[in-house]
Chain A
Amino acid sequence: MKTISSRQAGIILCVMLLANKILLLPSVLYEYAKADSVFILVLLLLAEIGMVFVFFQLKRKYPNASFYSIIQTQMGVVFAKILYFFIFLYILYKILLVYNVCYMYFRVQVYLDASFYIFVFVFLIVCNSTVLRGLRPLARCMEFFFYFLTACFIFCLMISIANFNKFPLFFDTNVIKFFEGGFKHLFCFGDTLILFLIMEKIKLDKKGEKQISKYAIAISILIVALYVLFYGIFNHISFVHKNAISDIITFSYRFTDIGRLDMVAIVFVMFLSLFQISVALYIFCDIFKKIFNAPKDIYGLVSFDLIFIGIVITASLDYAKTIAIGTVIVPYFAIFLQYMLPIICLILSGLRRREYNEKNS
Chain B
Amino acid sequence: MKKIADALKSTPILLALVFIAVCFFPSAIIAPSESSVNAIVTAVGLDKNDQDYEVTLMTFLSRPNQSYSEQYEIISCSAPSISEAFTNASLQIGKNISLFHTHTAVVSEKLLEEEDIASSLDYLARVASIPQSCILISTNVTSKQFLEFVQELDKESDINLEELLFYTSNYVLWKYTTISSFYEGYYSPVKCSLLGHLTISQGDVDGIPIKNTENVVGLGDNKDEKKGNSSSESESQEQSGQNDSVKNGSSQPSVSDETQNNDENNSNNMKQLQIINDGSCILIKNGKYQVELTKEQLQGLNWLNNSTSGSVVTLDNVSDDSFNNAKLIYKVQRKQILDRFEFQNGVPVYTANVKLYLTLMEVNGTKEEILKSKEPIYISETVRQLIEKQVKSEIMNSVEISKTNNCDTLDMFERFYDKKRTETRKLMETENIQPEDFFKNVVFKVIVSIFPV
Contacts and interface: CB of A to CB of B under 8 A. Distances in A.
A237 interface: yes
A112 interface: yes
B103 A169 contact: no
B132 A251 contact: yes
Interface in B169-192: 169-170, 176, 178, 180, 183-184, 187-189
A272 to B, nearest CB: 18
Interface stretch (A64-72, A129-137, A312-320): A129-137
A237 B187 contact: yes
Contact of B12 (A112, A129, A165, A250): A129
A252 interface: yes
Nearest to B183: A237
Interface string A89-114: 00000000000000000001100100
A62 to B, nearest CB: 32
Chain A interface category by residue count:
20 to 34
B20 A122 contact: yes
* A interface, over-half SS: helix
A169 B184 contact: no
A128 interface: yes
B103 A256 contact: yes
Contact of B183 (A118, A240, A243, A254): A240
Given A125-B20, A235-B184, A237-B187, A169 B414 contact: yes
B360 to A, nearest CB: 32
A108 B128 contact: yes
Nearest to B189: A236
A108 B131 CA distance: 12
A253 B135 contact: yes
A271 interface: no
B13 interface: yes
A125 B16 contact: yes
A234 interface: yes
Contact of A236 (B23, B125, B178, B184): B184
A236 to B, nearest CB: 4
Given A128-B12, A250-B131, A253-B133, A237 B184 contact: yes
B13 A130 contact: yes
Contact of B184 (A129, A133, A234, A254): A234
B70 interface: no
A44 B47 CA distance: 48
B15 interface: yes
Contacts of A132: 12
B307 to A, nearest CB: 11
Nearest to B414: A169
Given A122-B20, A125-B19, A169-B417, A256 B131 contact: yes
B15 A129 contact: yes
A112 B99 CA distance: 12
Q: How large is the interface on B (under 10, 10 to 19, 20 to 34, 35 or more residues)?
A: 20 to 34
B320 interface: no
A181 to B, nearest CB: 19
Given A237-B184, A240-B183, A129 B133 contact: no
B85 to A, nearest CB: 19
Contacts of B129: 108, 112
B418 interface: yes
Contacts of B183: 237, 240
A143 interface: no
Contact of B166 (A112, A121, A250, A253): A253
Contacts of A118: 24
A109 B128 CA distance: 7
Nearest to B187: A236
Contacts of B12: 128-129, 132-133
A165 B131 CA distance: 18
B184 A247 contact: no
Interface in A220-254: 234-237, 240, 243, 247, 250-254
Given A108-B128, A236-B188, A252 B13 contact: no
A144 to B, nearest CB: 14
B49 to A, nearest CB: 29
Given A125-B16, A128-B16, 12 more contacts: A112-B129, A121-B23, A126-B13, A133-B13, A235-B188, A236-B184, A240-B183, A251-B132, A251-B133, A251-B178, A252-B133, A260-B100
Interface of A: 108-109, 112, 118, 121-122, 125-126, 128-130, 132-133, 165, 169, 234-237, 240, 243, 247, 250-256, 260
- A-B CB proximity, top 4 nearest: A129-B12, A253-B133, A129-B16, A236-B187
29 contacts: A112-B129, A118-B24, A121-B23, A125-B19, A126-B13, A129-B15, A133-B13, A169-B418, A234-B180, A234-B184, A235-B184, A236-B184, A236-B187, A237-B184, A240-B125, A240-B183, A243-B128, A251-B132, A251-B180, A252-B133, A253-B103, A253-B169, A253-B176, A253-B178, A254-B170, A255-B133, A256-B131, A256-B162, A260-B100
